[in-house]
Amino acid sequence: MIKFIVEKLLTMNIPNIDLPRVVIIGGGFSGLRLGKNINKNHYQVVLIDKNNYHTFQPLLYQVATSGLEPDSIAYPIRRTFKNHKNFHFRLAQVKRINKKKSSIKTSFGTINYDILVIATGAKTNFFGMENVKRFSIPMKSLIESLDLRSKILQNFEKAIYVNDIKEQEKLMNFVIVGGGPTGVELAGALGELKKQVFPEDFPDLDIRKMNIHIVEAAPRILASMSEEASAKAHQFLKKLEVNIWTNTQVTDYDGELVSTNGKVNFYSDTLIWAAGVQGAPLKGVDASAIGKGNRIIVNEYNQIHGFENIYAIGDVALMETETTPNGHPMLGAVAMQQGIHLAKNLNRISKNKKKLPFKYKNKGTMATIGKNLAVADLERFKFQGFFAWYVWMFVHLMLLVGFRNKIIVFINWAWSYIRSDKGTRLIVRPYKKKKPKKERIIKTAKSV
Amino acid sequence: MIKFIVEKLLTMNIPNIDLPRVVIIGGGFSGLRLGKNINKNHYQVVLIDKNNYHTFQPLLYQVATSGLEPDSIAYPIRRTFKNHKNFHFRLAQVKRINKKKSSIKTSFGTINYDILVIATGAKTNFFGMENVKRFSIPMKSLIESLDLRSKILQNFEKAIYVNDIKEQEKLMNFVIVGGGPTGVELAGALGELKKQVFPEDFPDLDIRKMNIHIVEAAPRILASMSEEASAKAHQFLKKLEVNIWTNTQVTDYDGELVSTNGKVNFYSDTLIWAAGVQGAPLKGVDASAIGKGNRIIVNEYNQIHGFENIYAIGDVALMETETTPNGHPMLGAVAMQQGIHLAKNLNRISKNKKKLPFKYKNKGTMATIGKNLAVADLERFKFQGFFAWYVWMFVHLMLLVGFRNKIIVFINWAWSYIRSDKGTRLIVRPYKKKKPKKERIIKTAKSV
């Protein structure tokens, strides 16, 4: 009996069948695409994730700003793989990889693999600033977005009771660090709340006191896009009364004062950290395999050096080629393509065909600032404004997983468009701000 | 300066104007209706709630069973009162009433009233069973429903890893205490998950091991409805493989074993408490004014004895009349009617007209068990099944606050109907089960 249990735990209750077992860690864009496209007549597939849902990260900022409900941009992983044979989802936290034994240890036992795919994505990079990590709010997960939503709304509810003007401004000041797409989209959505929603919601407050700041280290926002897109986005944000501070880096934050290396400091209760991500590799990956930005170095087949049967795909993979000396950008589009490509390669291997190297097809990048205000850099042409906004909406709707989610998001957007409203302004679980760590008082014996 | 701050806090930053101030505590069915219908040319209205949203409680069970997203059945209170002049919403926890000073103390200062309306609703009644309170999950709030949803889904994810059959059954057993509308509707929705959703979601589990039990103290479920409705609901639940234990009372629960006074005990990880509610009055209400079920005794104008200017409406109010010797049933319909009626009376008072006594117009009661399976007792006729289900859907859609919510809920229902699916099976915040309290070990000095 005991032996039976132990054995089951060793396999996480995955049945042993006569097919090579592919274990995928992570149900993001890349892991999900790989799982869907791999031929399950030739492989047994196990997908492990710490959540039971896939998150559509590009729309997290809309959850944070009361535009969408969390359930609309998340999708149950089990549902995606309904009726897929030889497929097993397991909700577990992966602890470490044991390459010698070809196994991984999880919070619910150990499992052996024939082929391992690391698709663990990216995590927030605070560049070693502990205070910023402690007091700021990042926006990489559904829970963080919900926390940010609660925080924004709570601050306004509190501001009503506050009579000290400095205190009130602290509550109504929002500092976003990072002028990439996430920071820009978030700032735009906050700008819309300021212009359209909050004046009606909070007649007791002077909403002009609400200030939105973007702090960006580079000389321009959306630095990864064209100068044209950058300039137009700047202009759109100004229209929504967002203050932009380029060439400025945040250096510290104590929960109240945001210090920078520039001319300006901010007094703010809310610091939103959208300034950087890094790879999220697992324990058990050799230090020599970790490259720039904490990502795992892979060859053009997404293989990790020295291991024929271990792959990394998506944000966590660093494929340094002649055209991409710093690896590919950490984008959903790259992740999807790598997932699909690896599935194709594994399917080719099972038919004894040669693997093909990965080539990223850049379909362009887009960012939306507000209603009718978006910027798009496509391969052949660049455009901004009204049309870019429609294209952005259409593309994001199509990329969302699940038909139900597509409809619900569409209705929410149509609603916001017609009514200039954001429908889900609920503080379901209040956000609790972290208190500063108390310094430890070491009692020393008094010398007598 | 200090005096200024103190004064502001005393008024919770409500401007002083030359109208009598009505303070409403609670934004449920009754408080919301009162706030909307009272004439704000004659009164200044302050509505206080601990949440910034109104919850449509009759559909909480659908949030718990992955049928609806939380945001669809909740509505921002500020939005309801957009553009209402002389209206102020305050997010605060009310601590106590000071009748002598005509003021109430809240978590954000003290406020004076001319007229006070207590609309604090009901809370769960555990009938003094501390263990049950500690380990069971009630379902009176949005957060509790979300916790229950997470718990149900987590149990199934865990059950995959468990090899001990008894342990597995414990995770897959659901015991619902209370065969009223809440218990019956929840059991039906769980039955649908068992029949339609979980077999496809969890191919690694034998879903036949999932057991759903209703434990009801009375001789029949839906005891407040007609025998006809009761019998039919019983039959519908059987169709969905729900076990019904009438004449049975739960006596204890240690987190594993549900003890009853009947022939059967249950081994279950999940005890859902839908067995009773009680009034939720505030501190400062005289003990003599508290009647049966912890409700506040009111006269036919919803006034509290001895106070011309303090009212209680909705679930918390106990109006004992000849036709209602035990007060009105604790239903949304009563609450709405009392809110509207009190608004009418206050509007009459402001015009020096006589108050009218409240008369409840019973429009009937309904409960839905599953797709095409509902029961309805209307004033003139009773019906069950397909037609009752349509009527139930229509009535609930119409009662939902907000057009956006109506559409989103409708689409979710249409989706579930066509696809026999429940779309929002996400564990966003995992539920953490409470551990049993450790008994305190008292060290006694050893006698030497």
Both tokens assigned to B205:
């589990």
Mean pLDDT of chain A: 92
pLDDT band for position B50 (cuts 50, 70, 90) = very high
- What is the number of other CB atoms lying within 10 angstroms of the CB of residue A340? 18
List the single range of A375-389, A425-439, B41-55, B321-335 with lowest mean pLDDT.
A425-439
- Non-local CB neighbours of A20 within 8 Å, separated by 6+ positions: A42, A43, A44, A114, A115, A350
Measured in angstroms, the CA of A282 and the nearest CA of chain B are apart by 23
CA distances for B352 relative to B42, B349, B355, B357, angstroms: 12, 5, 9, 16
Sign of CA dihedral A215, A242, B404, A418: negative
Give the model's pLDDT for residue B437: 63
Query: Does A72 contact B69 at a Cβ distance shorter than 8 Å?
Result: yes
Residue B292 has pLDDT above 60, yes or no: yes
With beta carbons less than 8 A apart as the criterion, state whether A180 and A273 touch: no
Strands (E), A99-230: 103-106, 109-112, 115-118, 122-124, 137-138, 173-177, 211-215
Give the model's pLDDT for residue A445: 43
| Helices and strands of chain B, counted as H and E runs | 13, 25
Measured in angstroms, the CA of B36 and the nearest CA of chain A are apart by 16
Phi, psi of B366, rounded to the nearest 5 degrees: -140, 155
Q: How far apart are alpha carbons B70 and B63 in whole angstroms?
A: 6
The per-residue pLDDT for range A89-103, each reduced to its tens digit, is 999 999 999 999 999
The per-residue pLDDT for range A205-222, each reduced to its tens digit, is 999 999 999 999 999 999
Q: How far apart are alpha carbons A190 and B279 in whole angstroms?
A: 40
Nearest by CB to residue B161, choosing from A13, A404, A423, is A13
Residue A272 has pLDDT above 50, yes or no: yes
Nearest by CB to residue A76, choosing from B8, B83, B425, is B425
The per-residue pLDDT for range B379-396, each reduced to its tens digit, is 889 999 999 999 999 999
Give the model's pLDDT for residue A9: 55
Which residue pairs, CB below 8 angstroms and at least 24 apart, start in A47-50? A47/A77, A47/A81, A47/A87, A47/A88, A47/A89, A47/A90, A48/A23, A48/A24, A48/A89, A48/A90, A48/A91, A48/A92, A48/A94, A48/A104, A48/A106, A49/A25, A49/A77, A49/A89, A49/A91, A50/A91, A50/A92, A50/A93, A50/A94
> A153 — contact with chain B (CB < 8 Å)?
yes
| Single-letter code of the amino acid located at A93 | Q
Single out the residue of A216, A335, A324 nearest to residue A279, CA to CA.
A335
Both tokens assigned to A11:
């396999």
> A88 — contact with chain B (CB < 8 Å)?
yes
Question: What's the ipTM?
Answer: 0.91
With beta carbons less than 8 A apart as the criterion, state whether B61 and B186 touch: yes
Give the model's pLDDT for residue A278: 96
Contacts of B6 in chain A (CB under 8 A): none
Give the model's pLDDT for residue B106: 95
Residue A431 has pLDDT above 60, yes or no: yes
Query: What average pLDDT does range B56-63 have in this prediction?
Result: 96
- Which domains are seen in chain B, by residue range? 2-124+278-350 (3.50.50.60), 130-275 (3.50.50.100)
pLDDT band for position A268 (cuts 50, 70, 90) = very high
pLDDT band for position A440 (cuts 50, 70, 90) = very low
Q: How far apart are alpha carbons A174 and A188 in whole angstroms?
A: 12
Both tokens assigned to A426:
């609920």
Q: How far apart are alpha carbons B421 and B198 in whole angstroms?
A: 10
- Non-local CB neighbours of A95 within 8 Å, separated by 6+ positions: A104, A105, A106, A107, A283
Q: What CA dihedral angle connects B419, B422, B427 and B432, to 10 degrees?
A: -150
The per-residue pLDDT for range A21-30, each reduced to its tens digit, is 999 999 999 9
pTM given for the model = 0.93
Give the model's pLDDT for residue B119: 98
Q: What are residue B112's DSSP bridge partners?
A: B103
CA distances for B9 relative to A167, B95, B106, B107, B110, angstroms: 15, 15, 10, 10, 6
Query: What average pLDDT does range A12-36 have in this prediction?
Result: 95
Query: What average pLDDT does range B292-296 have in this prediction?
Result: 96
HSE value, Cβ hemisphere, 13 Å, CA-based, for A84: 23
Query: Does B412 contact A429 at a Cβ distance shorter than 8 Å?
Result: no
The strand pair at B365-370 and B317-319 is best described as unpaired
CA distances for A231 relative to A177, A178, A237, A389, B269, angstroms: 19, 16, 10, 16, 58
Residue B98 has pLDDT above 80, yes or no: yes
- Non-local CB neighbours of A246 within 8 Å, separated by 6+ positions: A179, A216, A218, A219, A220, A221
Give the model's pLDDT for residue B227: 96
| Interface probe, candidates B14, B78, B144, chain A, greatest A C-beta count within 10 A | B78
Both tokens assigned to B141:
């709030």
The per-residue pLDDT for range B147-176, each reduced to its tens digit, is 999 999 999 999 999 989 999 999 999 999
Q: Which residue does chain B place closest to A78, by CA atoms?
A: B201
Contacts of B164 in chain A (CB under 8 A): 5
Measured in angstroms, the CA of A258 and the nearest CA of chain B are apart by 27
pLDDT band for position A423 (cuts 50, 70, 90) = confident
Q: Which residue did the predictor score with more confidence, B359 or A306?
A: B359
Q: Which residue does chain A place closest to B7, by CA atoms?
A: A163
Sign of CA dihedral B53, B56, B59, B60: positive
The per-residue pLDDT for range A158-171, each reduced to its tens digit, is 999 998 999 999 99
Nearest by CB to residue B142, choosing from A408, A415, A428, is A428
Measured in angstroms, the CA of A44 and the nearest CA of chain B are apart by 14
3-state DSSP assignment of residue B383: strand
Give the model's pLDDT for residue A444: 43
Q: What CA dihedral angle connects A150, A155, A156 and A159, to 10 degrees?
A: 160
| Single-letter code of the amino acid located at A289 | A
HSE value, Cβ hemisphere, 13 Å, CA-based, for A80: 27
Residue B448 has pLDDT above 50, yes or no: no
Query: What average pLDDT does range A319-342 have in this prediction?
Result: 95
Q: Which residue does chain B place closest to A428, by CA atoms?
A: B143
Residue B435 has pLDDT above 80, yes or no: no
> A166 — contact with chain B (CB < 8 Å)?
no
The per-residue pLDDT for range B225-236, each reduced to its tens digit, is 999 999 999 999
> B197 — contact with chain A (CB < 8 Å)?
no
Q: How far apart are alpha carbons A165 and A162 in whole angstroms?
A: 8
Measured in angstroms, the CA of B410 and the nearest CA of chain A are apart by 10
Q: How far apart are alpha carbons A90 and A147 in whole angstroms?
A: 27
Query: What average pLDDT does range B168-193 have in this prediction?
Result: 97
How many beta-carbon pairs below 8 A join chains A and B? 133
Nearest by CB to residue B91, choosing from A69, A143, A157, is A157
Contacts of B427 in chain A (CB under 8 A): 51-53, 91
> B52 — contact with chain A (CB < 8 Å)?
yes
Nearest by CB to residue A108, choosing from B78, B83, B161, is B161
List the single range of A323-332, A413-422, B264-273, B430-439 with lowest mean pLDDT.
B430-439
Give the model's pLDDT for residue A7: 52
- What is the number of other CB atoms lying within 10 angstroms of the CB of residue A2? 6
Q: Which residue does chain B place closest to A158, by CA atoms?
A: B91
Strands (E), A226-364: 242-245, 250-253, 257-260, 266-267, 270-273, 277-279, 296-298, 310-312, 317-319
Mean pLDDT of chain B: 92
Q: Which residue does chain A place closest to B164, by CA atoms?
A: A5
pLDDT band for position B1 (cuts 50, 70, 90) = very low
Single out the residue of A77, A84, A98 nearest to residue A10, CA to CA.
A98
Residue B319 has pLDDT above 50, yes or no: yes
